[in-house]
């Protein structure tokens, strides 16, 4: 990880520089003239767009128009730079708006009630998707790409920082890392105060904090959960800035120096967020085996969306890995407690008061991803519910204090979580025709293709170009399909009654010692899979024995059903929980280390991975150490060596695993400073992923779907055998090994 030097800082191309130059020159013109020009060009553009999207064309001309646009896209997507992206967005908007205009004006002549029900349902879902698409373009077309500002003054003049580490039920062994790392941040010691906010009221935490010399804060209630916990701590501290880390987010030593500069430069800046980076795979990555190969669910948000938000001064606070200025936070009454997503709501309140928020896309902290699918789903349910609550109680489109760009960014972040129902509609819509014979499109099949295909192709190619490094094509559908069923009820309930209670799926918890298929969680996907299979059967039947005049319509619906089947079976694959053996955070990173053997040999090696309990090492050529031998590991920084006693617990050729003997607190702290809190480890693998190619992504999702079907088959066989014999035969994990 750390020796990855291939990724270079973002460099602007020549076209980009010319564009920036032109914008800078434009900004020097008189304000009045600029306003007139902007308004005039907006009106002109809107009229043009209106003309283009409403122009009626017959089948042949529409095909020709679509073909020309498509050719333009094929050329444009090869051109680097932001201008090409803007051009792609315009083409995509033309295709999609033309489609929607045509859809609303020419396809809604429904005849029966059943047609109307399915037809209007689908139109509503499509309308939602279009709004999110347009807002998404606004949000992401021009990421700000903020760079850090360095502190110019002497350390004696730097401001005081309170570090809050709220914890509730996380194990001390995990929180320890965060505490040591927070302590070790490069900041003057008299200006850095670390506070552990323990809502779990645990005595071992208190003792530990006393021994390592950090402040321990405990309150006598748990009102408002994390938000309340933070607000309590605000009352008993007085630093000028507050840095927040969740109990399992380990900051690097450079965190404060990288993130605080902007506050000194911009006095109106109230909050600066950095990415949440995870050194362990999330359930998707773990169960599908795509860790670091396919961008994960969070990467789109932290890689692109937040950077795009930043352009509009609408960066959200994400609860951790962020710095907040105390004064504005107190002005809005502390961290928001009205909703369950206190973080985003806090940022919204700050923005409403006219304060700025900023995003710095440099991972300067890393944490553990959720361990199991059920926990992951629970977390997303909370987000969805909280966002719906904000949308209902403090709607960003209404109210004072926001610019329209901020309104769109916030609204889109909330609307995004309403995808539950539309996604389920898209996953079942073709069945309306195939099974119930409902005419949900009142138009000829070829016309539909001529309009809908450009809409789909343009939007997915444009998004692939914008999001390429952070989200691969078709993965959005997979992520949404997995969560759709679960976030639908909380969102609907929160919209009706924002105060209504919690929704949690059962938690399998902790370490997954065996691979297993989560039948309970997979139920919605199995239902979707079954109904789509039934639809497929109906469709094939109609294709062979049905009326020839409807063959094209059937074929279109069949293709759609097939696509839905691929996405649904990929969702099924996610429900097959892979075994997770290690319970401690383990990070793969290559650091040089010397090994002093018991016989006095001194060997050179490189770490393969590290945790707080041991190292996986690769010795330099031709050396080996026998298992059980005691060694000392030497890590050095700035020419100073640190020693750690360890025992070799695994040895195979040049590969060894060394486990530390019990370390003193000083040694543990030293170890964290030399490993987890290194400044570059997380940044090195940031945005270094494979760019998207839509066809490869489809192949990938397809093969994962097939794998999911195989796993489902085996799990079913296994259940059947169990049910028949009623005697346990083989352990599940050997049966369930993935093909």
6 binds another protein (CB under 8 A): no
627 binds another protein (CB under 8 A): no
> Phi/psi of residue 359, each to 5°?
-130, 135
Enumerate residues 332-391 that contact another protein by CB under 8 A. 362
Nearer to another protein, 256 or 570 (CB): 256
Nearer to another protein, 257 or 711 (CB): 257
Nearer to another protein, 2 or 550 (CB): 2
665 binds another protein (CB under 8 A): yes
In the three-class reduction of DSSP (H, G, I as helix; E, B as strand; rest coil), residue 269 is classed as strand
159 binds another protein (CB under 8 A): no
Contact between residue 470 and residue 687 where contact means Cβ atoms under 8 Å apart? yes
Return the residue of 265, 268, 520, 666 that touches another protein, per CB under 8 A. Answer: 666
Quickly tell me which residue has 């279009």 as its tokens. Answer: 130
Nearer to another protein, 17 or 112 (CB): 17
187 binds another protein (CB under 8 A): yes
Quickly tell me which residue has 């060997």 as its tokens. Answer: 603
587 binds another protein (CB under 8 A): no
Contact between residue 256 and residue 236 where contact means Cβ atoms under 8 Å apart? no
654 binds another protein (CB under 8 A): no
643 binds another protein (CB under 8 A): yes
Q: In the stretch 673-702, what mask flags binding to another protein with x, by CB under 8 A?
A: x----xxxx-xx------------------
Which tokens in the block code for residue 56? 């009626």
- Exposed (0-12), middle (13-18) or buried (19+): which is 338, by Cβ within 10 Å? middle
Return the residue of 75, 598, 649, 717 that touches another protein, per CB under 8 A. Answer: 598
Out of 310, 343, 394, 692, the active site residue is: 343
Out of 162, 198, 199, 248, the active site residue is: 199
- E strand map for 92-232: 161-167, 192-198, 215-217
Nearer to another protein, 508 or 632 (CB): 632
Please confirm, yes or no, whether 162 is among the known catalytic residues: no
Handedness of CA 619, 620, 621, 625 (dihedral sign): negative
- E strand map for 321-475: 322-325, 356-359, 365-367
d(CA 526, CA 518): 11
Instruction: Give Dmax over CA atoms of the chain in angstroms.
Output: 90
Q: How far is the CB of 607 from another protein (least distance, A)?
A: 12
Helices then strands, counting H and E runs in the chain, come out as 26, 19
Q: How far is the CB of 186 from another protein (least distance, A)?
A: 4
Q: In the stretch 111-150, what mask flags binding to another protein with x, by CB under 8 A?
A: ------------------------------------xx-x
469 binds another protein (CB under 8 A): no
Identify which range of 232-240, 392-400, 518-526, 602-610 contacts another protein by CB under 8 A: 602-610
Number of residues that bind another protein (CB under 8 A): 62
DSSP assignment letter at 302: I
Nearer to another protein, 152 or 499 (CB): 152
Contact between residue 209 and residue 283 where contact means Cβ atoms under 8 Å apart? no
Which tokens in the block code for residue 575? 């429900």
Contact between residue 231 and residue 289 where contact means Cβ atoms under 8 Å apart? no
In the beta sheet, which residues pair with residue 198? 167
618 binds another protein (CB under 8 A): no
Instruction: Calculate the alpha carbon distances from 308 to 134, 138, 141, 142, 198 in Å.
Output: 14, 8, 7, 6, 35
Please confirm, yes or no, whether 307 is among the known catalytic residues: no
Q: How far is the CB of 596 from another protein (least distance, A)?
A: 5
Instruction: Calculate the alpha carbon distances from 52 to 49, 98, 487 in Å.
Output: 5, 7, 38
d(CA 387, CA 417): 7
Which residue, among 419, 363, 374, 366, has the nearest Cα to 283 in the 3D structure? 374
Nearer to another protein, 196 or 631 (CB): 631
Return the residue of 30, 213, 267, 728 that touches another protein, per CB under 8 A. Answer: 213
> Phi/psi of residue 244, each to 5°?
-115, 135
Nearer to another protein, 78 or 211 (CB): 211
Contact between residue 13 and residue 82 where contact means Cβ atoms under 8 Å apart? no
Q: Which residues are catalytic?
A: 199, 343
Residues lying near another protein in the complex (CB under 8 A) are found at 2, 5, 7-9, 147-148, 150-151, 155, 183-184, 186-189, 210-213, 254, 257, 362, 592, 594, 596, 598-604, 620-622, 630-632, 634, 636-641, 643, 645, 661-666, 669, 673, 678-681, 683-684
């Amino acid at each position: 990880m750390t020796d990855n030097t291939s990724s270079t800082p973002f460099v602007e191309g020549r076209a980009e520089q010319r564009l920036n130059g032109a914008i800078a020159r434009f900004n020097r013109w008189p304000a009045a003239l600029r306003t007139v020009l902007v308004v005039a060009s907006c009106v002109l553009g809107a009229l043009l767009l209106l003309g283009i999207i409403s122009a009626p064309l017959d089948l042949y001309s529409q095909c020709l128009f679509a073909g020309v646009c498509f050719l333009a896209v094929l050329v444009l997507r090869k051109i680097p730079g932001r201008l090409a992206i803007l051009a792609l967005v315009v083409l995509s908007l033309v295709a999609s708006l033309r489609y929607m205009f045509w859809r609303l004006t020419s396809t809604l002549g429904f005849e029966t009630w059943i047609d109307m029900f399915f037809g209007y349902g689908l139109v509503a879902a499509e309308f939602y998707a279009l709004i999110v698409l347009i807002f998404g373009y606004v949000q992401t077309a021009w990421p700000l790409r903020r760079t850090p500002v360095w502190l110019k003054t002497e350390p004696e003049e730097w401001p005081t920082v309170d570090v809050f580490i709220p914890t509730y039920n996380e194990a001390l062994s995990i929180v320890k890392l965060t505490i040591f790392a927070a302590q070790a941040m490069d900041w003057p010691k008299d200006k850095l105060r670390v506070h552990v906010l323990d809502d779990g009221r645990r005595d071992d935490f208190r003792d530990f904090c006393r021994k390592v010399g950090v402040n321990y804060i405990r309150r006598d209630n748990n009102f408002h959960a994390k938000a309340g916990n933070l607000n309590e701590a605000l009352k008993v501290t007085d630093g000028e800035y507050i840095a927040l880390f969740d109990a399992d987010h380990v900051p690097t030593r450079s965190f404060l120096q990288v993130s605080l500069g902007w506050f000194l430069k911009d006095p109106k800046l109230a909050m600066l967020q950095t990415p949440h980076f995870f050194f362990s795979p999330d359930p998707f990555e773990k169960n599908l085996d795509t860790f670091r190969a396919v961008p994960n669910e969070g990467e789109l948000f932290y890689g692109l969306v937040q950077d795009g938000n930043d352009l509009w001064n609408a960066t959200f606070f994400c609860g951790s890995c962020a710095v907040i200025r105390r004064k504005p936070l107190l002005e809005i009454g502390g961290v928001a407690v009205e909703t369950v997503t206190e973080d985003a709501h806090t940022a919204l309140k700050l923005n409403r008061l006219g304060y700025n928020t900023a995003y710095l896309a440099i991972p300067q902290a890393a944490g553990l991803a959720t361990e199991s699918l059920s926990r992951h789903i629970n977390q997303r349910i909370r987000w969805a519910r909280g966002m719906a609550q904000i949308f209902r109680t403090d709607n960003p489109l209404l109210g004072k204090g926001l610019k329209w760009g901020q309104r769109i960014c916030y609204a889109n972040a909330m609307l995004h979580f309403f995808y539950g129902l539309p996604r389920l509609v898209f996953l079942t819509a073709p069945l309306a025709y195939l099974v119930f014979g409902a005419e949900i499109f009142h138009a000829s099949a070829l016309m539909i293709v001529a309009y809908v295909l450009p809409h789909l192709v343009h939007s997915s190619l444009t998004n692939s170009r914008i999001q390429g490094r952070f989200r691969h094509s078709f993965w959005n559908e997979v992520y949404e399909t997995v969560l759709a069923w679960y976030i639908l009820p909380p969102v609907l309930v929160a919209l009706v009654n924002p105060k209504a209670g919690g929704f949690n799926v059962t938690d399998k918890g902790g370490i997954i010692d065996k691979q297993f298929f989560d039948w309970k969680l997979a139920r919605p996907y199995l239902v979707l899979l079954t109904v789509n299979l039934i639809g497929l059967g109906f469709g094939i039947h109609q294709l062979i024995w049905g009326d020839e005049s409807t063959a094209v319509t059937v074929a279109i619906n069949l293709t759609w059903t097939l696509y839905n089947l691929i996405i649904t079976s990929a969702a099924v694959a996610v429900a097959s929980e892979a075994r997770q053996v290690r319970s401690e955070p383990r990070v793969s990173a290559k650091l040089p280390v010397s090994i002093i053997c018991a016989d006095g040999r001194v060997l050179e090696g490189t770490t393969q991975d590290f945790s707080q309990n041991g190292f996986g090492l690769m010795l330099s050529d031709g050396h080996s150490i026998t298992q059980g031998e005691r060694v000392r590991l030497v890590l050095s920084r700035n020419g100073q060596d640190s020693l750690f006693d360890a025992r070799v617990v695994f040895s195979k050729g040049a590969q060894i695993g060394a486990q530390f003997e019990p370390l003193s607190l000083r040694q543990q702290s030293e170890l964290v400073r030399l490993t987890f809190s290194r400044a570059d480890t997380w940044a090195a693998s940031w945005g270094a992923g494979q760019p998207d190619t839509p066809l490869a992504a489809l192949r990938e999702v397809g093969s994962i779907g097939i794998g999911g079907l195989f796993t489902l088959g085996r799990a079913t066989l296994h259940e059947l055998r169990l049910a028949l014999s009623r005697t346990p035969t083989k352990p599940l994990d050997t049966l369930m090994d993935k093909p």
